[in-house]
Amino acid sequence: MSNRTADAAHALYAASHQGILSTLSLELAGYPFGSVVSFAPDRAGLPVLLISSIAEHTRNLQADPRCSLIVTEPGDDGQALGRLTLVGDAEPVTTDGENVAARYYARFPQAADYHRTHDFAFWRLRPRKLRYIGGFGRIHWLDTTTVCRANPFDPAQEARMVAHMNADHADAMRDYCRLYGIDPGSARPRMSAIDADGCDLMLDKHLLRIGFEAPATTPDAVRKALVDLARRARAARSPA
């Protein structure tokens, strides 16, 4: 398995915010039960879900934590597109809850009221193995750390970088959107997260993953990567 394969699987995972969670059904013992869920990575890169205690999948997980989460590349030909299945065990989040909540609500701000109106709680999926299919004939089992990569920045560092971009560089983020083929129109992009491999931009409820050309593991390296992205975007807009 090449680094290129691991990078492609990670890129798909990082660009995804929704997938199909399959649990073991209580209602029909032994049968898989699939449901659509939203997720955000925690600081270790593991997917975190916010799910209701009355949901079928939550009751299933309480009885048996074994599950899988599949994310897919958007497009028309599902057999030719990338997909990634994370197979592992789910557990309620009992530590680092404040940071987990902050990262989740940065991606899904509308979910911040769920705790007030329903009995929702955070769950974390700890994958044992991941199955990546990058198209016809590109099929690999991968280890968790090759795909679910830890964020090198502590919460304060990440928050400062995100706040700076949102306060001072809205035009640059619009350019990032255009570089990735999305016209932001009059919408103001909002950066929600930064890690070594890129950043997350939100356009209303749409997640746009912006990848760096090389890993950036310090704030200075992130600044350089973001400046380079802006230059590339401006160059792409300039007449030949």
- Note the pLDDT of residue 78: 63
Give the Cα separation of 109 and 59 in Å (integer): 25
Average pLDDT, the chain: 92
Contact indicator for 200, 193 with CB cutoff of 8 Å: yes
- Note the pLDDT of residue 80: 67
What average pLDDT does this structure show over 62-88? 89
What pLDDT digit, counting tens, does each position of 107-150 carry? 998 888 876 667 899 999 999 999 999 876 689 999 999 999 99
Angle, in degrees to the nearest 10, between helices 155-168 and 170-179: 90
- Candidates 77, 76, 79; CA nearest to 137 is 79
- Note the pLDDT of residue 40: 96
- Note the pLDDT of residue 215: 94
Which domains are assigned to the chain? 3-147 (2.30.110.10), 155-237 (3.20.180.10)
Amino acid at 53: S
Whether residue 206 is predicted with pLDDT greater than 90 in this model: the reply is: no
Whether residue 29 is predicted with pLDDT greater than 70 in this model: the reply is: yes
What pLDDT digit, counting tens, does each position of 91-104 carry? 999 887 788 999 99
Answer with the residue of higher pLDDT: 1 or 50.
Answer: 50
Angle, in degrees to the nearest 10, between helices 219-237 and 155-168: 30
Give the Cα separation of 169 and 187 in Å (integer): 14
In this structure, how many other beta carbons lie within 10 angstroms of the beta carbon of residue 140?
16
